[in-house]
């Protein structure tokens, strides 16, 4: 939620578009073939599979990024978190200076955090921008919840345990007002990029993910690495 991620400036990324609409299991066969570390390397420490679920072991685990960038998609996953825990999934992630930022689907043990159920920082929110609305239920710490993110163009929806909790349009007047009032106000056109990476964050406490699939609702882009001059 609060951590900024520094990227090496010796790596540049180029993208090629692949027309596809397939569903991909991002945790297929208990492997992390779809993920890399912030340094772009294979994941070897800090994250492991436990009883069929991917576990972020806690402080020092580091974040994970998809190898692919995504434009229009539906991301579905189940998660649970340690007591008083804090985590999230970011999308449309790109570099802003030396920081990797994007929209964040917030994941908290809300009852043991200081934020209210309908806070801009609560579970299901688009962190710091749109608070979750409606009558929804979050299961307690160390019990499984199911979440879903749908992005079509600039239309974004968050679901928590089957209930729509965020429904908005990036780049709208409401979005711009909320960004201007947030910690992201210094980042020009924050998250208005149509494509970006998916990020599993790490905020210092154990978090588990399982049954994570992503369906491309349009074109997918492949990231190719090249060294800067």
Report all structural domains of the chain as residue ranges with CATH numbers, in order of start.
24-37+48-210 (2.60.120.560)
pLDDT at 219: 55
168 in Cβ contact with 130 (< 8 Å): yes
Q: Which residues of the chain have pLDDT under 50?
A: 1-19, 220-221, 225-229
CB < 8 Å & 24+ apart, contacts of 180-186: 182/120, 182/128, 182/129, 183/128, 184/101, 184/128, 184/129
pTM as predicted: 0.86
Please name which of 78, 71, 54, 100 lies closest in space to residue 206, comparing C-alpha atoms. 54
pLDDT at 228: 37
pLDDT at 21: 60
List the structure tokens of 102. 């994007």
Pinpoint the alpha helices (H) of the chain.
Answer: 173-180
pLDDT digits (tens, 9 = 90+) for 50-72: 999 999 999 999 999 999 999 99
pLDDT at 213: 98
pLDDT at 114: 77
- The angle formed by the CA atoms of residues 123, 7 and 5, to the nearest 5 degrees, is 25
pLDDT at 151: 98
List the structure tokens of 108. 């908290």
**Considering the chain, what percentage of its residues have pLDDT values greater than 70?**
86
221 in Cβ contact with 13 (< 8 Å): no
Please name which of 150, 153, 187 lies closest in space to residue 170, comparing C-alpha atoms. 153
């Amino acid at each position: 939620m609060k951590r900024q991620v520094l990227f090496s400036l010796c790596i540049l990324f180029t993208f090629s578009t692949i027309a596809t609409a397939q569903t991909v299991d991002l945790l297929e066969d208990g492997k992390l073939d779809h993920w890399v570390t912030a340094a772009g390397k294979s994941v070897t420490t800090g994250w492991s599979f436990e009883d069929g679920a991917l576990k972020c072991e806690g402080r020092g685990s580091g974040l994970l990024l998809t190898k692919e960038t995504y434009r229009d998609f539906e991301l579905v996953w189940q998660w649970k978190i340690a007591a008083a825990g804090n985590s999230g999934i970011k999308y449309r992630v790109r570099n802003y200076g030396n920081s990797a930022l994007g929209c964040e689907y917030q994941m908290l043990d809300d009852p043991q955090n200081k934020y209210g159920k309908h806070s801009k920082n609560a579970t299901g929110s688009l962190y710091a921008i749109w608070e979750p609305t409606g009558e929804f239920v979050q299961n307690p710490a160390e019990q499984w919840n199911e979440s879903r993110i749908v992005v079509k163009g600039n239309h974004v929806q968050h679901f928590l345990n089957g209930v729509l909790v965020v429904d908005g349009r990036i780049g709208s007047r409401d979005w711009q007002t909320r960004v201007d009032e947030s910690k992201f106000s210094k980042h020009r056109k924050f998250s208005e990029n149509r494509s970006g990476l998916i990020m599993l964050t790490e905020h210092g406490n154990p978090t588990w993910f399982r049954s994570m699939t992503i369906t491309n609702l349009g074109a997918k882009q492949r990231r190719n690495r090249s060294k800067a001059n």
